[in-house]
Structure 1
């Protein structure tokens, strides 16, 4: 019920203010597990993704978003969990494994799981090298991967700071990618890299971003 209320209110508000353009939504099956893999340029990406699709989208978020105290903390927890966020402690040594297992469980339940292969928001608007967790998830579950691209959200909330601005937004979905030919090879690092690069190639084509063959976290460290 909370998701329905949130989507009804914010979905209407978003459509009125932003009039988001959605392309290729027919590539997302109406039933069964689906992995959505796309670029990540700002904080509001997940919100747009969750509100424009009929099916509920689940994604990983920092557990600090739902552990706040007081009225503000409870409101934030309600907002994020209602929008499909599953809190995971990503700062610990087992954060990556916990996120992977969470995604696997969601997909085994026949749901839609969204993931940003870059692992973090782009520091400068370019598309960075994908981490192979997306490949492991696809090969472990057999779920199709639908690449997507957020275009324009970096203008809505530059660097994830401040009150969101009004700017045109386009969300593009590509054709599903089937990696069943690699079944049982989710431990082969060469296969994992090949699968990840194929996904990122489609994301780059959909987004039109410049590609950088470096992890986004490394780029942040160099910039600092």
Structure 2
């Protein structure tokens, strides 16, 4: 009987034990592989695109701006023929020959209209400027957008490009760098397809 147990029973138990161990290893291997699949899935990188809100961008305090000429250029005349009077927030503007004037000490001084100023008809010298899915109308360095049946003065967005500036622009220095300024809009000279142009880089805030 002892011989039977040694010859048949013990080898059978050994085979069963080996089979169980192999089966356990197989299950652990399958589990490990499954875990690897999960890890690979969680490592997939998703790129998220965020659209920034519309903004005029960089704003510079007037205290940081130094004008290269000691006195700001002032264009004045004694009379404004064929003028149109436009009142905006209690201030009279006198419009004639594509320019706006204000009255001061018996003279009419050229002055850019402020943001929010509205007119019914654009100045005849306006040019269309398209930037960032928005239509601007630039006339003598002043930017307008169409609002219903009127045209409103606005600040241009940083990156907007024009190909000429008004004759009475100013050169200014900010942090050691030279820019061009008109109506509190800062420009930097650039090249576009080999042509000279001016790109809006910021707005001067009056303190």
Instruction: Name which structure has the greater RCO, CA cutoff 8 Å, separation 6+.
Output: 1
Which TM class, normalised by the smaller chain length? under 0.3
Which TM-score applies when normalising by structure 1? 0.22
Which TM-score applies when normalising by structure 2? 0.23
Q: Which has the larger radius of gyration?
A: 2
Higher helix fraction: Structure 1 or Structure 2?
Answer: 1
